[in-house]
Amino acid sequence: MKIKIGVKAMAINRDDFIPVCEPVLGDKELRYVAECLRSGWISSKGPFIERFEEGFARYCGAKYGIAVCNGTVALHLALAVIGVSSGDEVIVPDFTMIACANAVSYLGAKPVFVDSEIETWCIDPSLIESKIGERTKAIMPVHIYGHPVDMDPIIELADRYGLSIVEDAAEAHGALYKGKKVGALGDIGCFSFYANKIITTGEGGMLVTNNEELAQKARLLRDQAYEPSRRFLHRFVGYNYRMTNLQAAIGLAQLERIDEFVEARRNHAKLYNEILGGTEGLVLPPEASWAKNVYWMYTILVEDSFGMDRDRLIQKLREKGVDTRPAFYPMHLQPVYYDENDDGSYDVSTWLSVGGLNLPSGNGLSNTQIERVVVDAIKDSKKEK
């Protein structure tokens, strides 16, 4: 196959190419999907949806799960059910995937950005209070790259100011904060099941909550807000955000292996840490003493002392058959959200963005592949600089 970098094209043997993140699918996924096909329940009705919702909510320590068609709409729906509307503000980390800010904008509200903390790379709880104003409706902590946010001070702030917490756990299935699984720590939590996530439905998402009223409203709005007692009567503006039974069948099979997949990601990180530890110019991903990081993406920071910048290393790794991704671009510099009057400081998120590099992290990654990424690619590239 031909892969282009800039104006150069290189021939890469697909068998030797290490992708940044791909799913592991097995016989059970195939069997469950075949069962759907044989039953005829292939759309947004069918038994696998309820089984997946109940199973995933239970895994997260939540009472209710509401399956949706992707992680972005999970965020949008969560914000809608807590009552975010035009003119409101929602506090969002500056260093995150743009879906977080977009979900706020869909409702006519304004995302207000907060810098990250060096210790976890997540939103800095100590900076949030200064961004709370009269229009602030909610806080959206994001468990970045699989590491939990320090939630206790955020929960305290939310209680004190009467704010809701919409937890973005899209990248953190199974991560622990002080022994509790993320996603059910705030008012409502959101997950993604995109193909590169720890478990996948191809496309898909889930809301989890312990609040029955929020769960009922989420179920209503995700299905065009049909009145339960009278079909085709609508008292609210709803959405078509349903997950299909086919997707849920894949998700249920994946859920039955989630502990295995989480352990695989952590084992990958352990080996990466062992081999990369002490390499000048590389900062390895954090894990706070109170956290269990699930390393959705094993992300390193490339600093000047490494001898080449992050983008040059990306190119060198691609030449050696290793796929990577740059870290997220900070929200305050996104053209769509840039505000010249924003007087906030975003030094940490900018540092993470400039140097951040996602290395191959999929569930099926082998030790041999990790060793090749590190020894044959990263360390050789450093020697070749």
Q: Which pLDDT score, from 0 to 100, does residue 344 have?
A: 83
Same domain, 196 and 311: no
Nearest-angstrom CA–CA distance, 342 and 112 = 10
**CB contact burial 296-327 (16+ within 10 A = b; e otherwise):** bbbbbbbbeebbbebeebbbbbbebbbbbbeb
Q: Which pLDDT score, from 0 to 100, does residue 385 have?
A: 63
Which runs of E-coded beta strand occur in the chain?
Answer: 2-5, 8-11, 64-68, 89-93, 110-114, 136-139, 164-168, 176-177, 180-181, 188-192, 205-209, 226-227, 230-234, 282-283, 291-292, 298-302, 325-326, 356-359
Same domain, 201 and 346: no
CB 48, CB 252: distance < 8 Å: yes
Q: Is 383 exposed, middle or buried (0-12, 13-18, 19+ CB in 10 A)?
A: exposed
Query: At which of 236, 255, 274 does a domain end?
Result: 255
Same domain, 15 and 36: no
Strands 176-177 and 291-292: antiparallel
Same domain, 217 and 334: no
Nearest-angstrom CA–CA distance, 25 and 29 = 6
**CB contact burial 77-112 (16+ within 10 A = b; e otherwise):** bbbbbbebeeebbbbbbbbbbbbbbbbbebbebbbb
**CB contact burial 141-161 (16+ within 10 A = b; e otherwise):** bbbbbbbbbbbeebbebbeee
Which runs of E-coded beta strand occur in 87-163?
Answer: 89-93, 110-114, 136-139
**CB contact burial 333-368 (16+ within 10 A = b; e otherwise):** eeeebeeeeeeeebebbbbbbbbbbbbbbbbebeee
Specify the CATH number for the domain of residue 139.
3.40.640.10
The H helix count followed by the E strand count for the chain is: 12, 18
Give the pair of three-digit tokens for residue 123.
Answer: 């939103």
Amino acid at 85: S
Same domain, 194 and 315: no
232: left (phi over 0), alpha (psi -120 to 50) or beta: left
Same domain, 39 and 109: yes
Radius of gyration of the chain (CA): 21
Q: Which pLDDT score, from 0 to 100, does residue 15 have?
A: 62
Q: Which pLDDT score, from 0 to 100, does residue 220 have?
A: 97
* Nearest Cα residue to 49 out of 62, 36, 30, 34: 36
Same domain, 39 and 11: no
Specify the CATH number for the domain of residue 269.
3.90.1150.10
Same domain, 103 and 217: yes
Query: At which of 255, 274, 304 does a domain end?
Result: 255
Averaged in consecutive runs of 10 residues, what is the pLDDT profile of the chain (385 residues)?
A: 32 71 96 96 94 98 98 98 98 98 98 98 98 98 98 98 98 98 98 98 98 98 92 94 98 98 98 95 98 98 96 95 96 94 90 98 96 84 73
CB 108, CB 86: distance < 8 Å: yes
3-state secondary structure of 294: coil
What residues form DSSP beta bridges with 65? 208
Amino acid at 254: Q
Strands 325-326 and 226-227: unpaired
Q: Which pLDDT score, from 0 to 100, does residue 14 have?
A: 54
Same domain, 75 and 150: yes
How many residues are there in the chain? 385
Amino acid at 143: H
CB 253, CB 48: distance < 8 Å: no
Same domain, 33 and 19: no
Query: At which of 220, 255, 290 does a domain end?
Result: 255
3-state secondary structure of 324: coil
Same domain, 231 and 275: no
Same domain, 226 and 139: yes
Q: What is the span of the domain harbouring residue 242? A: 27-115+122-255
Q: Which pLDDT score, from 0 to 100, does residue 381 have?
A: 78
- Number of domains the chain is built from: 2
